[in-house]
Amino acid sequence: MNFLSPASLFLFGLAIPIIALYILKLRRRREPVSTLMFWEQLFKERQTTSLFQRLKHLLSLLLQLLFLALLVLAVARPQFAFITKSARQLILIVDRSASMNAILNFDPENPETESRLDSAKETALQIVQGLRFMDEMSVISCHTRPIIHTPFTRHQKTIREAIESIEPTDIKTDLKPAIDLALAVAQTKPNPEIIILSDFQKISEETLTDFQNLQSKNTNSDDDKEEEKRNIKLHLLQIGEENDNVGITQFRVRKSIVNAFDYETLLSVINTSDEEKRCSVELYFNESLFDVRPYTLSPGEIKTEIFSNFTFEGGELKAVLDIEDALKTDNVAYATLPIRESITVLLVTEENPFLRNALAVDEKIDLTVATPTEYEANTQEFEVVIFDRYSPTSLGDGNFMFIYPPNSDTPPNIGTDDSVATWKIGEEIETPIITEWERTHPILQHVQLENVLIGKAYAVTPPPTSKVLVRSFETPVVFVDVTPKRKIVFAAINILESDLPLRIAFPVIMANTITWFVQGDKIEEYHLLTGEVLRYKFDAQEIAEIKNKLPQDVTSENPQMTVKITGPDEETWDIPIDIKDYDGDELLFDQTHLAGFYALTLTDASIEENAETDENLEEEKTTDDNGFKKLWAVNLASETEASINAVEGIEELVTETELISGSSFFRFPPWIYLVFLAVILSVVEWFMYQRRKID
């Protein structure tokens, strides 16, 4: 036996004054009386009970000393080896994935609000009440990754607060990382126990096998790790019952494959129940209903539909399933519909009305026309540059189209890398005939080039990395060359001496070319799955434009910007950015735990400082009102998570909650029992001696 406070044993010295008080005899006073007759009778009665009185007096002393001993031992806090060795180290894992948001016992006629997670937390609190004083517990919550809410502790208030702090999420289920963490920690403890509170909606076969091995008493293995695992007790507590569910598994916006200026939305709905379900899908744009589609889903059926040709842009798109089921999270899906941005195109030509008109009729193109002289002096950047019968001396990164550039032995300098090859222009070809073209390439889709009359062209030798699109017999006429930072389309045809501009194929080719140029880097999809990291990188031009829009009277020498992210339920996060020293680092945000819209805006920190002293400062001085806003749509979108029933084979491994509690006798530390025994002895002593004196 050991003592946590051995110095308290010196309190046994208090027994000396207690014994002294019992030994001490009082000095009697002499008092004259009129007769001794009555006193002699009283003296005789007392002599008959003196032995009993002495024994009772001694028993009272012993009870007082025992009372003191119990109190001193309680203060010293004894620790018994057999109790310490039986202490348990419990690792509590609470599943807080999306399926745990399902209603516990869903009934359409009697709707309830208690979720599976609420029930799991109540069960966890009941387990805490059954802990013994020497038991330790660590609380872990998980979805796709584990989060430790409290390390091992015996302080039950801390454990309860950790359990109550677990918040629901809309992230998919993956128990394996939390189980691996628990097993790694448990192997360092003498009496570890792992308790998992989950609906066990998704478990891999490997994890299920581990569960079976941990609970089996007949596992035979020579592996040391398996030997350590066999000493670990595993308790699986299943939360919730089987329920039907219909959910949205896909809802994404992308640019149209046919027309880069349009959008199309993909929607998928799954019925995970064993019965046919009828529902409707409601589509909202900025909270305004614009379409309703009825759905009839057979058991296990997935229905996919594409919505296209939206007439609106730049806002929030939402799909809602009009159905009552246990899990409401996957009944709503979100998507962002971006603003249609024009493509900046520069046409460098002396004069080509056919080319100018073909580009001008395309509404998605912001066209600028310049002469070669004006181009050499121009510093503005364009997304696409078209050179008509002209070749610059150097070529940077970007998208470029060459139409019949002049025959020169020195092609444009396109970089300092010697490994970068360029084309070589050869002899002229008289009246070439197009004999072959790549009909499947995006530039030549929906194009017919048969019987095109061409007056002038020349043979060209493309670089080895290029792909030939059009040939005149064996001679390449049109090719494309793609590198990580540059796209080039080369046409060795003088369109002014051809009937191609008079054909429908010409504007189609130009539109397809512009689309092909920007389709890779122009499509920005602001869609995430719950739990994924939101990433955004401000470019220098973007920061400069925002800074220029700020009022000059509040812009400091070292301006500070605050990135404000607003999530579902108007929850906000502020991230400061030093604009002066900003080096283009990528912003990372990992708090996408709930499905919904996440808006990123910018606010000048100096404005916020002045706002504390200037109550009349108008809100229009923030960059939010200047148009900078990025919107992300975060969805659950998981076929696996839509099925909210437990996996097969888990029922036989489930443990009853009552079996987890330890022995009730050692629920409290020994000093409490010592104090309780001391109180009982004090009451006994009072009844035996003090109460008689009072009577």
Q: Where in the chain is the domain with CATH 3.40.50.880?
A: 343-522
Q: Which of 288-302, 306-320, 388-402, 519-533 has the lowest mean pLDDT?
A: 519-533
Distance CA 353, CA 502 (A): 12
User: pLDDT at position 394, please?
Assistant: 82
pLDDT of residue 612 exceeding 60: no
Q: Where in the chain is the domain with CATH 2.60.40.10?
A: 246-337
Distance CA 474, CA 451 (A): 17
Q: Helix or strand or coil: residue 603? A: strand
- Lookup: tokens for 49: 């009970």
Q: Closest by alpha carbon to 469, among 446, 502, 501, 491?
A: 491
φ, ψ for residue 365 (rounded to 5)? -105, 130
**Any idea which residue has 């036989």 for tokens?**
652
Q: Closest by alpha carbon to 139, among 181, 173, 101?
A: 181
Is 343-522 assigned to CATH 3.30.70.930?
no
**Any idea which residue has 């992210």 for tokens?**
565
Distance CA 237, CA 116 (A): 12
pLDDT of residue 231 exceeding 70: yes
Distance CA 215, CA 465 (A): 60
Provide the pLDDT confidence category of residue 400 given band limits of 50, 70 and 90: very high
Region 119-137 average pLDDT: 88
pLDDT of residue 298 exceeding 50: yes
Cα dist. 139→194, 225, 658 in Å?
A: 10, 24, 19
The continuous run of DSSP H or E covering 253 comes out as: strand 246-255
φ, ψ for residue 375 (rounded to 5)? -65, -40
**Across-strand partners of 264?**
254, 308
Max intra-chain CA distance, the chain: 164
User: pLDDT at position 337, please?
Assistant: 83
DSSP 434-448: --EE-TTSGGGTT--
Distance CA 455, CA 677 (A): 115
Provide the pLDDT confidence category of residue 469 given band limits of 50, 70 and 90: very high
**Any idea which residue has 């040939």 for tokens?**
471
Q: What is the mean pLDDT of the chain?
A: 79
pLDDT in tens, 571-587: 899 888 776 666 667 88
Contact 308, 265 (CB under 8 A): yes
Region 94-101 average pLDDT: 92
Cα dist. 379→346, 365, 374, 383, 386 in Å?
A: 12, 20, 10, 13, 16
User: pLDDT at position 47, please?
Assistant: 55
CB atoms within 10 A of CB 63: 17
- Lookup: tokens for 235: 């308790």
Contact 284, 242 (CB under 8 A): no
Contact 354, 495 (CB under 8 A): yes
User: pLDDT at position 170, please?
Assistant: 93
**Across-strand partners of 573?**
565
pLDDT of residue 492 exceeding 50: yes
Distance CA 384, CA 9 (A): 89
Region 27-31 average pLDDT: 71
Q: Closest by alpha carbon to 654, among 241, 149, 273, 244?
A: 241
User: pLDDT at position 122, please?
Assistant: 92
User: pLDDT at position 512, please?
Assistant: 87
Most confident by average pLDDT, 254-268, 289-303, 639-653: 289-303
User: pLDDT at position 226, please?
Assistant: 56
pLDDT of residue 155 exceeding 70: yes
CATH superfamily name and code, 246-337: Immunoglobulins (2.60.40.10)
User: pLDDT at position 602, please?
Assistant: 78
- Lookup: tokens for 280: 């409707």
> Which of the pair, 313 or 443, is modelled with greater confidence?
443
pLDDT of residue 134 exceeding 60: yes
Region 326-349 average pLDDT: 87
Contact 634, 530 (CB under 8 A): yes
Q: What are the helix and strand counts (H, E) for the chain? A: 16, 31
Q: Which of 94-108, 196-210, 496-510, 547-561 has the lowest mean pLDDT?
A: 547-561
Contact 631, 599 (CB under 8 A): yes
> Which of the pair, 35 or 69, is modelled with greater confidence?
69
Which residues have a Cβ under 8 Å from the Cβ of 240 and sit 6 or more positions away?
102, 104, 105, 116, 119, 199, 644, 646
Secondary structure of 516-536 in HEC code, one letter for each residue: HHHHHHHCCCCEEECCCCEEE
Q: Which long-range contacts (CB under 8 A, 24 or more apart) does 118-121 make?
A: 119/239, 119/240, 120/94, 120/95, 120/197, 120/198, 120/237, 120/239, 121/94, 121/163, 121/164, 121/166
pLDDT of residue 111 exceeding 80: no
Region 138-142 average pLDDT: 94
User: pLDDT at position 491, please?
Assistant: 92
Q: 527-637 — its CATH code?
A: 2.60.40
- Lookup: tokens for 649: 């084979």
pLDDT of residue 92 exceeding 90: yes
Distance CA 386, CA 369 (A): 10
Using CB atoms within 10 Å of the CB of residue 445, give its burial: 0 to 12 exposed, 13 to 18 middle, 19+ buried.
middle
Region 609-621 average pLDDT: 43
Is 87-242+644-659 assigned to CATH 1.20.120.420?
no
pLDDT of residue 665 exceeding 90: no
Does the model's pTM come out above 0.85? no
Provide the pLDDT confidence category of residue 668 given band limits of 50, 70 and 90: low
User: pLDDT at position 426, please?
Assistant: 85
